[in-house]
Amino acid sequence: MFLLEQRKFFFTTTVAAIILALGTTSTGNADYPKFLKFPKFHNQPLFGGRVKNVILFIGDGMGDSEITIARNYSVGAAGRLTIDTLPFTGEYTTYSLQEKNPKLPDYVTDSAASGTGWATGNKTSNGRISTTAGTDKDLKTILELAKERGYKTGDVTTAELTDATPAVLLSHVSDRSCQGPQDTANCPQDKKSAGGPGSIAEQSIDHNVDVLLGGGKQRYSQTIDGGQFAGKSVIDAAKAQGYQIVTNAAQLQAAQPASRLLGLFSPGNMSLEWGGQPAIPYPGSGPQRCLENQRPADEPSLAEMTSKAISLLEQKADRGGFFLQVEGASIDKRDHAGNPCEQIGETVALDRAVKVALEYAKQHPDTLIIVTADHAHTSQIIPPPTATDHSPGKYSTLITADQAEMTVNYATNLPDNSQEHTGTQVRIAAHGPQGANVVGVLDQTDLFHIIARAIGAE
């Protein structure tokens, strides 16, 4: 069903992109009819062109609202973030499926089902990691396809490496909670001792991904319960399979491309970039400016991890290409918590990582960069609350880069509970060859096909 829709979508987006580009002025290009005059910059994105490398950025929970809040705060309402400067922008729908009746949509996805959508081209039910709704069959991922075609691969996150977003690329389990070999209560059939592929941590190593960077040391320290490495920790199994292990920023900087690299920079999620007062019910917290530079110096930033991953993958790939996923994970986590400064700091950190990739693409124009989110989230910019007119949720007022007050509201759940994901469409943007394929209103599963096409798998 999605394949057929896919053909239609490539056609319509290409036509749409041509119509858009007709309005632009340029120096022209001999390869295309005279009446189609494009700036040289747009030729490849519009008409295809060879993609050597793909860098995919996922802002977890980074809906349009989260982007706007970060923009207003950090560069002002009329300013532009780096992610705003990508030349092609579309939107995609993110709904998942119901486990008991996969013919029906679940309008609010989680990161596991949405990740399965973009990583495999198939929708599934919430909580599943690259397995089918209802039937628990493995779904082939874009990272697996890239590996088969000789690409070097990398998976980078500020969450645990076994968290849902990085996990959908390199593992297949029935439940996202099965992060380490001792965390398999919800997926007994996947345990190595039961003849399964093991937890997400074990599968991440067994997939021989070239560069793995993030948090989650607590999962990799657990003991494997079956198979070749029974009785060893996942870290020791990784070493036996040719991984170099690094655990701080200095070690990451020194890492060489000779071996595969596993970076585990914290026991759980990596530290946050910024701090600030959490949102509270009326009259709310603030007005406040956020506390920047809160991350401990021995933990690398997302931009530093991105830079090192690109450098290692490029050296390893030699004349071949690479596929790299980079996740800004805690935009979502701090949106759940209702803390606007922490949420904005993580959004800005992802924006800085995208800048690293765009700088790389200047020197390597055969790089396709895609920036998107997995689902939308809670935070909303609302009018200042008054005693008679205010949201029943919680809020904080921030002093933005405009030197103006911005009220950020969290009200998708009771103030003391974890705030919820929301079901609206989210932005997808691209830069580089074949980038025009993101234009229009797509579905999350289309992202899989865009990348599969870019790496020659479709």
Question: From residue 210 to residue 249, what is the string marking binding to Mg ion with x (rule CB under 5 A)?
Answer: ----------------------------------------
Annotated binding residue 405: no
Question: From residue 40 to residue 79, what is the string marking binding to Mg ion with x (rule CB under 5 A)?
Answer: --------------------x-------------------
In 3D space, the residue among 381, 393, 306, 303 whose CA is nearest the CA of residue 64 turns out to be: 381
210 vs 332, beta carbon nearer Zn ion: 332
- 244: which DSSP letter? E
Residues ≥6 apart with Cβ < 8 Å to 137? 131
By CB under 5 A, the residues from 418 to 447 that bind Mg ion are none
- Among Mg ion, Zn ion, none, residue 329 binds (CB under 5-8 Å by kind): Mg ion
Site size for Zn ion, by CB under 5 A? Answer: 1
Stretch that binds Zn ion, among 136-144, 166-174, 329-337, 405-413 (CB under 5 A): 329-337
Annotated binding residue 31: no
Annotated binding residue 443: no
Pairwise CA distance, residues 247 & 228, whole Å: 25
Stretch that binds Zn ion, among 272-280, 295-303, 325-333, 380-388 (CB under 5 A): 325-333
Answer for which of 111, 174, 347, 434 binds Mg ion (CB under 5 A) is: 111
Pairwise CA distance, residues 29 & 16, whole Å: 20
Annotated binding residue 390: no
**Binding flag, residue 332, Zn ion (CB under 5 A):** yes
The token pair at 123 is 């929708």
Query: Residue of minimal CB distance from Zn ion?
Result: 332
Query: Residue of minimal CB distance from Mg ion?
Result: 165
DSSP β-ladder status, 285-288 and 394-399: parallel
CB atoms within 10 A of CB 386: 9
B/e letters for 340-360, b = 16+ CB within 10 Å, e = fewer, are: bbbbbbbbbbbbbbbbbbbeb
- Cα dist. 30→25, 27, 35, 48 in Å? 15, 10, 11, 16
Q: Assess contact for 306 and 252: CB atoms under 8 A.
A: no
60 vs 443, beta carbon nearer Mg ion: 60
Residues involved in catalysis:
111
In the complex, which residues of this chain contact Zn ion (CB under 5 A)? 332
Binding residues for Zn(2+): 60, 332, 336, 374-375, 421
Residue list for the binding site for Mg(2+): 60, 163, 165, 327
